[in-house]
Amino acid sequence: MGKPSDLVQGTLDLLILKTLSLGAMHGWAIAKRIQQISSEVLQVQQGSLYPALHRLEQQGWIKAKWAESETGRRAKFYSLTTAGRKQMETETANWNRLSAAINLVVGEV
């Protein structure tokens, strides 16, 4: 149980924020979307997804609203707050810097 082995530590928050920047969606959809966009490489387990969502909500980066889902059942939809959008930009910049740096090192060898 617990941490997805195939996700770099701490990147799940960024993935969620990025996914939500496309629009409001519920937990299931977020997991599916990440899976799709990453061409099935990134599998987000519920065990990490929901704690992460709730943590982001507590920090005020995303907010939640109960609404009807596409199947007509009540679901909790998450969307970015203004602060969350800023946070996403900072984290994206960080990620770009970090991955570029890693690429440089890895490419060098």
Partner 1 sequence: MRWLNRLAMRLRMLFFRGSANAELNEELGFHLEQQIAENRLAGMNAEEARFAALRAFGNPVLLREETGATWSWSALEQFVHDVRIGARTLSRTPGFALIAILITALGIGASVALFTVVRGVLLRPLPFPESDRLLTLYERSTPAAGGGDFPHNVVAGGVYAAWNRENTSFSSLALVRDDSADLSASGGQLPETLNGAHVSWNLFSTLGVNPAMGRGFTSTDDSLSANGTVVLSWSLWKRRFGADPAILNRIIYVDAKPYTVIGIMPAWFEFPDSSTQLWRAVYHEFPEKVMSAFDNHMFRVVGRLKPGVTAEEAEANLSVISRQIHDSHLDNPFVAGEANSRPLLEHLVGDVKRPLYMLLAATVCLLLIACLNVANLLVARAAARHKELAIRTALGGGRMRLLREHLTESFLLEASGGAAGLLLAYAAIGWLLHTRPDMARVGAIHFDGVVAAFTTAVVILCALFSGLVSAFNTDDTRLLGALHESSRSHSAAGKRARLRKTLLAVEVGLTVVLLMGASLLVKSYQRLRSTNVGCITDNVLTMRMKLPGKRYKTPGPAPANFFETLLQRVRTLPGVDAAGFVTGVPGQGYMGDTGFTIVEHPPLPRGNGNLAVYRAADPGYFAAMGIPVLRGRTFGDNQKLDPVSEVVISESFAKNFFPGEDPLGKHLHIMDGNKVRMIVGIVGDIRYEIGEAPEPMLYHPVFAGDQNYGTLAIRSRQDVSQLALPVQQIIQSQDHDLPVSDVLTMNQLLGKSTLDQSFDATLISSLAVLSLLLAAAGLFGVLSYVVAQRSGEIGIRIALGAQREQVLRGMLADGLRPALIGLVLGLGASVATTQFIKSMLYETQPLDPGVFAAVAALLIASAALACVVPAWRASRLDPMRVLRME
Q: Strand order in 74-80's β-sheet?
A: 25-26, 74-80, 62-68
Residue 58 is a binding residue for partner 1 (CB under 8 A): yes
Amino acid present at 3: K
Query: Among residues 11, 69, 79, 92, which is the contact residue for partner 1, using CB under 8 A?
Result: 69
First vs last C-alpha separation in the chain: 35
- Structure tokens belonging to residue 78: 């998450």
- Least CB distance to partner 1 at residue 55 (A): 4
Q: Is 82 in the site for partner 1 (CB under 8 A)?
A: yes
Binding site for partner 1 (CB under 8 A): 1, 26-28, 45-47, 50-51, 54-55, 57-60, 63, 66, 69, 71, 73-76, 81-83
